[in-house]
Amino acid sequence: MEEFLKKCGLLLVLLSVITATCIHLVGDGLKRMKGYSYSYDDIAHVAGKAEPFRIEEKERQLESIHTFNIWSGSAQLITSIVEELTYVVTDGMIQKIRDIFTTWVYK
């Protein structure tokens, strides 16, 4: 039993580290996709404009082509699936624990 608990703890820590790393990488990638890490000259070169432009205007243009909305929509779908699965598993475990205690108390 002790070995099982150690393995579960190690797995929990490992998965937590992997999740935190992935969240960091995704956030960094989104920042680079939105152009936060580029200089104004790089943005002007890519846009083909030498004159200044408003960030809000560029953001509306990017949103209109659904560059980020596809990924955010799929991420929301995955999140809702994982959340629902977590609720189902947790409720099942709680019900089993309740069944164990009810049979133990009423024996």
Cβ-based burial of 97 (10 A; exposed 0-12, middle 13-18, buried ≥19): exposed
Distance CA 23, CA 29 (A): 10
What's the mean pLDDT in 15-44? 74
Contact 97, 90 (CB under 8 A): no
Residue 43 binned pLDDT confidence (cut-offs 50, 70, 90): low
Domain limits, the chain:
68-107
Distance CA 30, CA 68 (A): 8
Q: What is the pTM of this model?
A: 0.35
Distance CA 79, CA 73 (A): 10
pLDDT digits (tens, 9 = 90+) for 59-97: 777 777 665 666 677 777 888 899 999 999 999 999 998
